[in-house]
């Protein structure tokens, strides 16, 4: 197990970068994840790895540590009520209403952004929409751009969408699926830290900020939601995870559905 001193040093660095506090209960998890990085450098001992990390202060190695310590669990069509609501919003949308832009604001390996894209392509056709995905982890941004997933991740994708938007891998890609080019062309990923001023992403009709606020203390959660809402168009909707209510914040929001908000 990692020593108290190394644990404190690494978690303080991680909190400075990501805003996420990893408490004492995460000590075994942190040890396991850093052990993997230590091994790639031929070190058996996690504490020696942390010492090297602190001595060298190499930005690329720090990125690798942040990538390892983020929790990236996600899957296609997670929290399906939101995708039903998305389809109903598109149904009610007047024709010729201009380009429809959606932001997946903690996109992890991209499954959420591509699930949104499947619904948009189905309801709006090949053009007139765009999805932007951002994540703190550069490793996740790279994975999302590859758009290649183990087949079992697709178990919640509606069959019609699976046939239409997913290509089955052969040969060295056996057991994997690739998201179709028609979607990949309209879904763009870039690295962004929600704890810092955001890059110029434009404004959005819908923002998915799901299953990320849960990692932050109330003040950081509110600051992130406020920053993100600055990019929501008037009349747009903000989606959070169902376990991530914004009700106790001082943000001027109206609850439209469970875990769906609009400007008040």
Residues that bind ligand SAM (CB under 6 A): 18-20, 70-74, 78, 106, 108, 112, 135-137, 140, 193-195, 210-212, 241
Answer positive or negative: Cα dihedral of 260, 192, 249, 232: negative
Closest approach of Cβ 44 to ligand SAM, in Å?
28
List beta partners, residue 132. 103, 188
Of the pair 34, 47, the CB lying nearest ligand SAM is at 34
Of the pair 89, 212, the CB lying nearest ligand SAM is at 212
Catalytic residue among 47, 67, 101, 135: 135
Note the residue count of the chain.
Answer: 264
Closest approach of Cβ 104 to ligand SAM, in Å?
6
DSSP H stretches of helix in 21-170: 27-40, 46-56, 59-69, 81-91, 111-124, 138-146, 159-165
Is 135 part of the annotated catalytic residue set?
yes
Catalytic residue among 27, 33, 64, 93: 33
Closest approach of Cβ 134 to ligand SAM, in Å?
7
Vertex 38 angle, CA 33 and 40, to 5°: 105
Q: How far apart are CA 191 and CA 125, in angstroms?
A: 28
Strand pairing category for 204-209 and 232-240: parallel
Of the pair 6, 74, the CB lying nearest ligand SAM is at 74
Of the pair 180, 195, the CB lying nearest ligand SAM is at 195
Closest approach of Cβ 121 to ligand SAM, in Å?
20
CA-based end-to-end distance of the chain: 49
Active site residues: 33, 135
């Amino acid at each position: 197990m990692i020593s108290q001193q190394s644990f404190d040093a690494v978690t303080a660095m991680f909190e400075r970068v990501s805003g996420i506090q990893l408490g004492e209960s995460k000590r075994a998890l942190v040890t396991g994840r850093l052990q993997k990085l230590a091994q790639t450098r031929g070190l058996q001992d996690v504490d020696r790895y942390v010492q090297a990390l602190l001595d060298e202060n190499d930005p690329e190695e720090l990125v690798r540590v942040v990538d390892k310590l983020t929790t990236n669990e996600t899957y296609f069509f997670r929290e399906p009520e939101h995708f039903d609501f998305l389809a109903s919003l598109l149904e009610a949308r007047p024709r010729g209403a201009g380009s429809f832009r959606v932001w997946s604001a903690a996109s992890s390996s991209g499954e959420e952004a591509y699930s949104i894209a499947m619904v948009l392509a189905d309801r709006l056709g090949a053009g007139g929409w765009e999805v932007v995905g951002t994540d703190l982890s550069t490793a996740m941004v790279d994975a999302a751009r590859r758009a290649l997933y183990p087949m079992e991740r697709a178990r919640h994708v509606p069959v019609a969408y699976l046939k239409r938007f997913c290509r089955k891998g052969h040969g060295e890609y056996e057991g994997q699926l690739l998201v179709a080019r028609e979607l990949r062309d309209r879904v763009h990923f870039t690295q962004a830290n929600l704890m810092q001023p955001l890059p110029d992403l434009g404004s959005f009709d819908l923002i998915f900020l799901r299953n990320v606020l849960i990692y932050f203390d109330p003040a950081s959660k509110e600051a992130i939601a406020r920053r993100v809402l600055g990019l929501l168009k008037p009349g747009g909707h903000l989606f959070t995870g169902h376990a991530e209510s914004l009700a106790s914040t001082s943000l001027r929001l109206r609850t439209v559905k469970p875990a769906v908000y609009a400007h008040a």
